[in-house]
Structure 1
């Protein structure tokens, strides 16, 4: 790869660096329609999913891994730009003291609810008012692992394209459909076709393994602190809970998604 195809940036005050740093904030991501992803593994997952960066940032004078060379070439072939800069500037973009040596800027890709094809998978994950980006990213990763069609975010959820969520997704941000909708939009859409809505709740005695789930199954996980609103629970086809054998009364939202997702997957496999 010829370095002449790269643009070098050395100053923190460079307008491009300022713009890229601004993508750490939701309002700027929304305005730009782009988000930041970091690390060779995540960028390789993106490339495998057919996604190339609009802009690629590399550490100057550092030897490139063969996979990084492949990403760089794909970026240039797609008309993207490649920048090389110092490790200190990349640390500012990353927000970490020990940053990855490669960062990609990608177009965000939410799927409108009306365009979601429920026939793509027998399993869908639905999260309501999720607040923690790490939980959201982990749920995306779980969705990829169980072959879910995607993640539907209900009401006021944390931004799925936040740096922390992208990092926790380990590349699943590029493989999972991501849809955002209000409850008032989601429920009529769900009822317009096939789909079993399964809610996790403490307000039931039905064990999660005592139910035969019908495809496509939509697994609804509530807010980390409050759980599901009562009216949302009433709208579910069935409520289930996981046994708590210790003092804890519930699982972390991401963990609950994984337990439920694998139960549905295992029933399909059997």
Structure 2
């Protein structure tokens, strides 16, 4: 049982409910500097990652989930705890079936120096518009211990609810920066990083390339690959060999294959 007497918001016309629902729209996320995360797992990952969580809202009918009840005793969690009607839960989340809880989180800040460490491994996305692919790449980058992810121009919004869900919480575990790649890539090269893309005409397979050096992995859009401006900055290209009849891998699968080869060479040689 929830022993706390939390504020109850029952009406979708409540001012807070309307503000939260507006965060499903990028324009209002940008204006407020906040976004919505849905479900117990993402909330726990946000708290684990020391994100700035301003409110945790849970379904009054279901009660406060036990996993979140344990978090209330943490002195470093400053969020308001609020219960809401099922109608409010549905209005403020982007899923067909409302989750048992959602949270309001400040947009993340990242130190740009994370991009330029000694043996850095940075993933830079150029025009990756599919939220599922972008989120999966962030998750894979987190899994292999990459230093950062950069979302270049034309990429899906990091705070799109589908992108956030696809990261499975990894967006709270490593720096993610939205920036102009044509400005950042020359800086990365000047700091000693190799800019590596993929190409069907590449001389190296991904298994014959040396990933132990400071590397920025550049991955392009699902349909067009790297833009002309970014392709012109690539130092090296690799190809992922395929023994079967598949024409290609999607950008999330290809990124994951390349990132795990980076991990293998760096940690398990």
CA contact (8 A) 2:114 2:147 kept: no
Give the distance between the partners of 2:135 and 2:95, measured in 1 at CA. Answer: 18
1:95 corresponds to 2:117 = no
Q: Number of aligned residue pairs: give it.
A: 267
Deviation at 1:22, TM superposition (A): 0.8
Q: Secondary structure at the match of 1:235?
A: coil
What CA distance in whole angstroms lies between the structure 2 residues aligned with 1:206 and 1:229? 21
CA distance in 2: counterparts of 1:117 and 1:239, whole angstroms: 20
Q: How far off its partner does 1:63 sit?
A: 4.1
Q: Which runs of 5+ in 2 are unaligned?
A: none
Instruction: Evaluate the alpha carbon distance shift between residue 120 and residue 47 of structure 1 in structure 2; reply closer, same or farther with a 3 A threshold.
Output: farther
Say whether the 8 Å CA contact 1:154–1:186 is kept in structure 2: no
Residue deviations 1:127-179, cap 9 Å, x none? 10110111111111101110011211122211111111110000001012011
**Secondary structure of 1:70 counterpart:** helix
Name the CA distance, whole Å, in 2 between partners of 1:135 and 1:228: 15
Output the CA distance in 2 between the equivalents of 1:132 and 1:211: 28
Distance 1:31 1:42, change over 3 A: same
Contact conserved, 2:114 with 2:148, CA < 8 A, in 1?
Answer: no
1:161-200 equivalence runs, <5 A: 161-200=159-198
8 A Cα contact 2:9 2:88, kept in partner: no
Query: Shift of residue 77 of structure 1?
Result: 5.4
**Who is 1:256 aligned against?**
254
Runs of 5+ unmatched residues, structure 1:
none
* Cα 1:100–1:157 shift into 2, 3 Å: same
In structure 2, how many angstroms separate the alpha carbons of the residues matched to 1:177 and 1:257? Answer: 17
Question: Does residue 156 of the first structure (1) align with residue 154 of the second (2)?
Answer: yes
TM-score by length of 1: 0.91
Contact 2:126/2:227 (<8 A) preserved: no
Q: TM-score, normalised by structure 2?
A: 0.91
Q: C-alpha separation between the residues in 2 aligned to 1:88 and 1:181?
A: 37
Aligned pair 1:144/2:173, yes or no?
no
